[in-house]
Amino acid sequence: MVENELEVPIDSVVLLGRLSIPDNAKGIVLFAHGSGSSRQSPRNNYVAGVLQKSGFATFLFDLLTREEEA
């Protein structure tokens, strides 16, 4: 499995995310977090882990910037 922390530039802000790609991935599932949740959420990481074990890549990213989270 390949895992990378990514920065996604959008206009004047940068959103943070984690891309996990299992060997021979079948596709990708994007998790967009907001409203009290983040890419660090235990529930969302559990679901992402199940998907990865089933052969799907996952990209968990936050809709809030570092400044907005603070």
How far apart are the C-alpha atoms of 7 and 16, rounded to whole Å? 5
The model's confidence at residue 67, banded by pLDDT at 50, 70 and 90, is confident
Instruction: State pLDDT tens for residues 9-52.
Output: 999 999 899 999 999 999 999 998 766 677 788 889 999 999 99
Is the confidence at residue 70, as pLDDT, over 80? no
Question: Which position has the token pair 């922390």?
Answer: 5
| Terminal CA-CA length for the chain | 31
Mean pLDDT over 63-68 rounds to: 78
From 57, 69, 43, select the one nearest 4 (Cα to Cα): 57
- DSSP state at residue 70: -
User: Is the CB of residue 32 less than 8 Å from the CB of residue 63?
Assistant: yes
